[in-house]
Amino acid sequence: MSTTTVKAPAAPPEQQRPEARTEPDTRISLRAHVRHTSALVRRNLLWIKQDAESMLDAVLMPIVFTLLFVYVFGGSVGQSLGGGRDEYIQYAIPGLMAMTGMNMAMGVGTGFNQDFQTGVMDRFRSLPISRSSVMTAKIVVELLRMLIATAILLTVALIIGFSVESVPGLLASVGLALAFGVGLMWIFLTMGVVMKSAQAIQGMGFLVLMPLQFGSSIFAPTTSMPGWLQAFTDYNPLSSLADAARGLMNGGTPVAHDVWVTLIWSVVMTGVMAPIAIHKFRTRT
């Protein structure tokens, strides 16, 4: 007696496992990448619109840091520069622009990690979209936030007496800060994928960023620092970014070396960390 095996009908496409419907990034065209990234940028912007409190750091932090450093340290540090508070304003504002990118970058990592904890990434995993577009959209939105923070910083600076000697130099300084910020964002996106919690990312971020910020020429000249610390500041990319922005905006000092050092750091950080971040993200999702 023969036995007939009846195969169960295949599940409809909408009931199949999400992983079966998700195509690798290599099978998605460049046009599709751009379309996916644009849609995710719009999604992130709508989320910010619904959660306006997420913009508090971009709006308030530039105001707080500008007023704090100018009016607390401006008098004493300004005297060492050969002037007073007005002299320190010209010195500190370009440095604070460099610091803005670091603060925005750390927010990328913590926000990305929280998306894993809240289940947002589970939704992205079920969609036939490129994994890299998810990360690229995060960076685009953070760059917009960084532009807003920089605009607020410059507005407050102009109100308290900052003067721009060169508008093209100002635009070039903003471009340098954005390029450097992108490199930092890829580092923190990698941390957002591999680390277990947003608190761990914040702790690690402060542990690394604080020495970089204060061991640089952002807030004060390095000539009065100990020799070993001056050696550290000479190789600190934040010093190069701050000095380049200072020279471009205020004029009077050569900036070619600092500009090239900043660009090289930006390209290296992006070129090394972007593939790592995308690979880790694909592996996790």
| Assigned domain for 20 exists | no
Neighbour count for residue 138 (Cβ, 10 Å): 23
| Assigned domain for 58 exists | yes
Residue whose tokens read 């102009």: 158
| Assigned domain for 228 exists | yes
| Assigned domain for 9 exists | no
| Assigned domain for 3 exists | no
**Chain centroid to CA 180: how far?**
8
pLDDT-based confidence at residue 268 (cuts at 50, 70, 90): very high
Tally of domains within the chain: 1
Q: Is the pTM of this model over 0.85?
A: no
The arithmetic mean of pLDDT across residues 209-230, rounded, is 86
Domain assignment of residue 234, given as a range: 28-284
Pick from 241, 279, 278, 235: nearest CA to 260: 241
pLDDT of residue 178: 92
pLDDT(15) > 90: no
| Assigned domain for 4 exists | no
Contacts of 200 (CB under 8 A, 6+ apart): none
| Assigned domain for 5 exists | no
Compare 85 and 9 and report the one with higher pLDDT. Answer: 85
pLDDT of residue 221: 86
Most confident of 108-112, 125-129, 169-173: 169-173
| Assigned domain for 22 exists | no
